[in-house]
Amino acid sequence: GLNSPLMEFARIHVFSYSPRSETPAARMPQQVGDKIKKQRSQKMLALAEESLKNFSQKFLCKVTPVLWEKQSDGIWSGHTDNYIKVYTKSDEDLTNKLLPLKLVEVKGDGVWG
């Protein structure tokens, strides 16, 4: 069930189906209502957040290569080779550099190092 996933993912993209005219699916009976779609999306988003947290925690206290992508207000963001979003503070230009980082804290949508 949704409460006990067999796998954990670094990222889950959640979106609601919306009918597209001129497609067979748009003409099918028993379309799911917006209220139910919203409830299901909320459940999946909660599951995605929990899965990300559980997946990311497995890498805490480990050093892993990070490809640094961009900086905002002195905080750099990048990704590990297994798609974990990572943050760190640095005054250096890390753009497009692949550098090792010790992951220390799961916070928000990623991990800090």
62 — pLDDT class (breaks 50, 70, 90): very high
87's tokens: 């943050």
Q: What would the mean pLDDT of 38-46 be, rounded to a whole number?
A: 92
Contact in structure between 54 and 84 (CB atoms under 8 Å): no
Select from 40, 58, 76 the last residue of a domain. Answer: 58
Domain that holds residue 7: 1-58
Whether the model clears a pTM of 0.85, i.e. scores above it, the answer is: no
Q: Give residue 47's pLDDT.
A: 87
The chain-wide mean pLDDT, for the chain, equals 89
50 and 3 within one domain: yes
46 and 2 within one domain: yes
More confident residue, 4 or 31: 31
Rounded alpha-carbon distances, angstroms, from residue 111 to 2, 3, 29, 107: 24, 23, 44, 6
Q: What is the pLDDT of residues 65-101, one digit of tens each?
A: 999 999 999 999 999 999 999 999 999 999 999 999 9
41 and 71 within one domain: no
Contact in structure between 95 and 89 (CB atoms under 8 Å): no
Query: For the chain, how many structural domains are there in total?
Result: 2
Q: Give residue 49's pLDDT.
A: 87
Distance of alpha carbon 9 from alpha carbon 112, whole angstroms: 18
